[in-house]
Chain A
């Protein structure tokens, strides 16, 4: 983003405006926190995997599960089919485990907490009470809070640092904790479901994650329970040269409902950082899961230095009849995004939805989309993808819709639209449509266009600045997806859309 220094001063634009633009046009979450960290040595091998397992006080079956994944990973090669181009990653030159030192022993009160950790949360806009809980102050987690009803689990580098609202959730029977805790306290659930949606050797990054994941969130909603509040996980990569490998497992038992939010940021670094997460969702009969992501990892600077390489495997398995899953994602960050949240529609009448906004500016590259596998009868899926490219970025929608011969009377509707801002960027669409029975209907539509001059002219004529006008038009373009987000997230996403595009016009 080259706003600021290169910005032309036009008539009626004062220095204050320029400064304001300069401020917002930079990555807001780009600071890092200088906290004493505990690292495992660089590289990945059996010892590191054992060490991670040991640090998390894991039982033997879990250690073996990881080691098996490592063995398989060693035989795999990095996938190269995506339309992304990045320098070779040296997987042995990464830290696979890092955690704030203050977390080694839980602090008793806020005074004992590393003030820098607290400052981090403050900067991220997390209220003080939640900060205390997230900082791991004992006892805080049980104090109820009447105003906000969002339970938060935060993962700082590799470690879950705290989960809020535990007791209230417990009353409803909901289990919401870090996955390392779940392995210890609910091994029967973890054993049953972990790796059942994304198998250990599913793909290169998922297998690496299976071997070295250090933490993540675990959610279990018992039968018939509507989760009393929205659950949220907050991920932050802080330490340099660390890869973050979180693992999320969500189980919605029969007839339950949960809405889950995920947010992520990382500091500005000149070197690229690795992020390879796995999210598994099991949706039983009549259950419904909403999974919303605002991905705002550091995208790299305007020259393409640094940023997060985001290789994520997300999949939901609608196992029971009438199960429903909805993925909503706003992808504005990361230097490289490789992400295809998918739905396996196994149960009859199950439904999958995918709403996505992917914004790529400057040197960002995004290759993202979804897979809808229709296996059950009368299954429905809907895909709405909005891709926006600016600067010299490349944005690809890659999706698959498969109607199995057994999936009678199923229905898919796909709409993917791309918007180009500037003549140096690219927008691509790579859909795979596989229809194997005739009672199902599949419709796919895609368009590519630029920001409409008439619309811009209209806004400009009414006194809007060029960037403001573009942001408004783009927000209109994304409306279908923004509306699918939970309220608070939608507001944040809308602002994010505008910020992500700062400096892309003029």
Chain B
């Protein structure tokens, strides 16, 4: 890709001078700048963006995103999390709890970025950079170069109380970049909950280092504001015997691109990534997942379910890469869509790239309509057709939601899903 083809007036500007003078993160930002300078911003012609047009994510001008009245601020209240609130990308001390919890330290990028030294220097941009080896992800590099806000969390113990980052959206034209870094020490554990629409346009990076025997639980509900656009990235590295679990629910959203790049670097580690989405009308949702197995005896699962109607589009690009010495790898990937009408579409590219022989890897992908026999069975027993369709839809989504271990959190998700279906009956 040459730079020239991206330098149209309408695109985001990339200027190196603005990323310098930023304390401990200067080097990481400068490197990230070089990465974008080399790759350019993504275009619809890139193979990696085959099914999702990145134009509104790279345009200089942010499209308007109307606000919705219902907020998702309190959806996780049943598990009494520590609340950290960002309003259009700005931290809100009034709405947030005190940033203190036993077993971890929480800092904000905004307050520490001028420091000369910080432990996060080793991590900030590191896994994002690693994620660029297989394919360039310019939006993530852009984020590393320019992010001013985000949470820097160091987990040193098993933390029982979850952290809930709540993203509120109050400005119809907000353009937000957030960059979180989480380091989980050996034997430590963290549950991170995210909810809310965040901005008219969000570019988010979450870098997670999961050390030996540590566990990271992640459940995310992307906001309900329909006209919002979001490009989110998770970059994670797993050490020996560590566990990484991430689930994302997406209801609404004119454009969502969720990328997840995990590197399994330690033996016997386990990574589960899952997602459920329900979309209506001009909904476009893209899950792009890349799991690298670079250790012996590791396991990965990718489970993605999409329910689409009235012209909604669902995209899944998934890849399992098994490196030459990653023997005894167990890789599984399933992506399924339920198309509730004839206008919706499902586009998938589920890939396997395998260089080790003693592995069991499989993937499956299906697409189809509601099973007429099952529908007939339910309606013949006196259930109205819309209710029967909802029941079958929930059954279809169950496999992805079942990836959540915590029953309370699972119930929260199921409630959100059935609420969405009911409202749109």
Contact = CB atoms under 8 A, between A and B. Distances in A.
A450 B359 contact: yes
B367 interface: yes
B341 interface: yes
B404 interface: no
A446 B368 contact: no
A40 interface: no
B366 A443 contact: yes
A246 to B, nearest CB: 31
Contacts of B56: none
Interface in A426-450: 426-450
A427 B350 contact: no
B367 A442 contact: yes
B71 interface: no
A405 interface: yes
A441 B324 contact: no
Interface in B131-149: none
B361 A448 contact: yes
A444 B350 contact: yes
A425 interface: yes
Contacts of B364: 443-446
B110 interface: no
A421 interface: yes
B377 interface: no
Contact of B354 (A418, A435, A436, A438): A418
Nearest to A429: B352
B90 interface: no
B327 interface: yes
Contacts, number: 118
Given A405-B342, A423-B324, A423-B327, A449 B349 contact: no
Contacts of B164: none
A438 B368 CA distance: 6
A440 B350 CA distance: 19
Nearest to B362: A447
B365 interface: yes
B355 A448 contact: no
B358 interface: yes
Contact of B344 (A421, A424, A438): A438
Decide if the interface of chain B is mainly helix, strand, loop or mixed. strand
Nearest to A453: B358
Contacts of A107: none
B247 to A, nearest CB: 23
A420 interface: yes
Nearest to B345: A436
A239 to B, nearest CB: 37
A421 B356 CA distance: 9
A420 B358 CA distance: 8
Nearest to B350: A431
Contact of B362 (A421, A437, A442, A446): A446
B345 A441 contact: no
A422 interface: yes
A440 B368 CA distance: 6
A86 interface: no
Contacts of B10: none
B352 A448 contact: yes
A81 interface: yes
Given A433-B349, A436-B345, 13 more contacts: A405-B342, A423-B324, A426-B353, A429-B352, A429-B353, A432-B348, A434-B347, A438-B340, A438-B341, A441-B369, A443-B365, A447-B361, A448-B352
Interface of A: 81, 403, 405, 408, 418, 420-450
